[in-house]
Structure formats: structure tokens, C-alpha cells
């Protein structure tokens, strides 16, 4: 993600879901101490440091899908939170193993991510248009690993166990969100669309308008 400010202004869906899901989970845990936020995007890390950084809240570039991420971070944690990130990672087993390695013995993790979503169907359709095909040949690399799973919660439990994690509670609820306008939908889609930066600047508006059109066809 190269436009973190744009993401912050258009992430009402993510904020809604986090406000629904986190409070009952956090109520079970004691949270204290310092916080380290990590992301693979240096632009995101720099934005977070400028906007949210304090003595107790720090940020570092790291990749949870890297075999060396534990060494890069260099410490372990009592609590790990991952909000709307893990669906970007194709190697779920490695990511979950890394989370296990970064947790203290009695640590807990709260992981919230997309199992499946209509947006991935939109990527597939957009990749079929000759105009955009050259920019989207790797579209499958950006699809949630659980997109085709009939029981994503069960699959996740299996992978977590293989990684050495004990899953206390795993659910895959169906959720919907209503955007007031197509402009709001475009504002939400643009910063998380991995192909936008590949599109020539003079064609980006047309590309995103077509993404919105294809998304609405699948949502309604």
C-alpha cells in the first residue's frame, strides 16, 4: 500500500468491523506496556510514525511472511493483533509459525482477516479485459488463501495447529457493509487495490471506475 493517508480516509468498513469484533475479545485479555506496529510497506510505517508514534507506540518495517521476521523484530510479545492483514499472505503456515515464534509462552493473538470477498471476483474479471490484462497477470497472488474454502474456519484451525498455535476461538461470520455512494466505494477500494500503482496515471480514474462497476455487479 503506497497511499496510507488515503486508506485512513476510506477505511470505514474496516473500522466498523474492528469496533464490532475487538471489544469482546479485548475484554478477556490484560493489555499493557508498549506497542510495536509492523507493516511490509515503508510508506505505511513512515505515515504511522508521523501520525501515531509516541514513546509507547513504535513502528517498524517487517514482513510476517518472511522466514527471518523473528530475527528482524528481535523480541517477543504477550499479545499480537493482526487486523485485515493476513489475507494478503499466501503462505499462511509460515505466517502463523512466525506469529507463534513471536509470542511469549503464555501469549495470545487476535487475528482478523478476510476469508472470502467479492472483490477477488472483481480482480479476476478485470484481469480478463485486454486493456488491463498486462497489469494484472499475477492477480491470483492477491486473493485470500481461503477464498475457495467451503469451511475457512476449519482450514485455518488446521493450519494454526500445524504451526503450533492453539486456536481458542475461530469463526467465519458473513458480514455486509453498505456504502452510501459509488464515490465512497471507490474511496474504499482504491487504497487496497494492489494494481493501481501499475496503471499509467492518466488511466487510473478509468481503471478504478471500472473496478467499482464490476464490484457493484457482484454485490447487487
What per-residue confidence (pLDDT) applies to 167? 78
| pLDDT value at residue 29 | 63
DSSP lists the bridge partners of residue 39 as 61
Q: How far apart are CA 6 and CA 168, in angstroms?
A: 35
Alpha-carbon distance values, 184 to 7, 40, 207 (Å):
12, 26, 16
Q: How far apart are CA 31 and CA 220, in angstroms?
A: 41
pTM for the structure as a whole: 0.85
**Torsion angle of C-alpha atoms 66, 72, 76, 81, degrees rounded to 10:** -50
CATH number of 4-219: 3.40.50.150
pLDDT tens digits along 9-39: 656 666 666 676 667 666 666 767 888 999 9
Low-confidence ranges of the chain (pLDDT < 50): none
Check residue 175 and give its pLDDT: 80
Amino acid at each position: 500500500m503506497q497511499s496510507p493517508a488515503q486508506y485512513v480516509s476510506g477505511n470505514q468498513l474496516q473500522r466498523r468491523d474492528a469496533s464490532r469484533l475487538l471489544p469482546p475479545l479485548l475484554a478477556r485479555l490484560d493489555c499493557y506496556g508498549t506497542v510495536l506496529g509492523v507493516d511490509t510497506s515503508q510508506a505505511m510505517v513512515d505515515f504511522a510514525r508521523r501520525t501515531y508514534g509516541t514513546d509507547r507506540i513504535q513502528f517498524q518495517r517487517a514482513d510476517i511472511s518472511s522466514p527471518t521476521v523473528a530475527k528482524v523484530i528481535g523480541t517477543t510479545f504477550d499479545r499480537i493483533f493482526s487486523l485485515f492483514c493476513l489475507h494478503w499472505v499466501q503462505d499462511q503456515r509460515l505466517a502463523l509459525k512466525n506469529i507463534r515464534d513471536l509470542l511469549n509462552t503464555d501469549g495470545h493473538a487476535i487475528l482478523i482477516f478476510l476469508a472470502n470477498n467479492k472483490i477477488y471476483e472483481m480482480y479476476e474479471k478485470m484481469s480478463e479485459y485486454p486493456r488491463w490484462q498486462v497489469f494484472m497477470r499475477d492477480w491470483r497472488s492477491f486473493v485470500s488463501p481461503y477464498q475457495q474454502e467451503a469451511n475457512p474456519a476449519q482450514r485455518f484451525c488446521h493450519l494454526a495447529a500445524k504451526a503450533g498455535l492453539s486456536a481458542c476461538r475461530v469463526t467465519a461470520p458473513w458480514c455486509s457493509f453498505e456504502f452510501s455512494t459509488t464515490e465512497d466505494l471507490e474511496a474504499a477500494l482504491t487504497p487496497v487495490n494492489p494494481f493501481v500503482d501499475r496503471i499509467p496515471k492518466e488511466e487510473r480514474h478509468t481503471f478504478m471506475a471500472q473496478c467499482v462497476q464490476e464490484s457493484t455487479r457482484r454485490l447487487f
